[in-house]
Amino acid sequence: MTANKIDLSKYDIDTIDINTFGGLINLNELYLSSNQISKINDPSTFNSLINLKILSLENNQLVSLNQSIFVGLQNLEEVYLGSNPISQKQPSFVRSLCSTNPKCKIYL
């Protein structure tokens, strides 16, 4: 059985290893909100999530993101990044992260 949704909100997660979500190709929704994530080190962290539609990273401590963090996620429709330092300091950069996918919307 495969998971379509994983909710890891409010677990005090502070880092995400590159292979954390490897092999979860059927995952549609990933919720990582209300944790302590300050950066995502590798731009390919989410690359294996090819069917991901919703990604919630809101209410973390994100201060930077790699420009290519969502490249290859062609099914991505909604990204929630509100209540992060990067959302407040660089909103135009954050909105540009989905520029390669016309279906994707970023919510600050």
Walking along the chain (108 residues) 10 residues at a time, the average pLDDT comes out as 85 93 95 96 92 98 92 94 92 90 93
Contacts 24+ apart (CB under 8 A), 102-105: 103/74, 103/75, 103/76, 103/77, 104/70, 104/73, 104/76, 104/77, 104/78, 104/79, 105/77, 105/78, 105/79
pTM, full prediction? 0.94
Domain that holds residue 2: 1-13+21-108
Residues near 50 by beta carbon (within 8 Å), at least 6 away in sequence: 25, 72, 73, 74, 75
CATH number of the domain where residue 60 is located: 3.80.10.10
> Which residues on neighbouring strands pair with residue 80, listed in sequence order?
56, 107
Amino acid of residue 48: S
Q: How many domains does the structure of the chain reveal?
A: 1
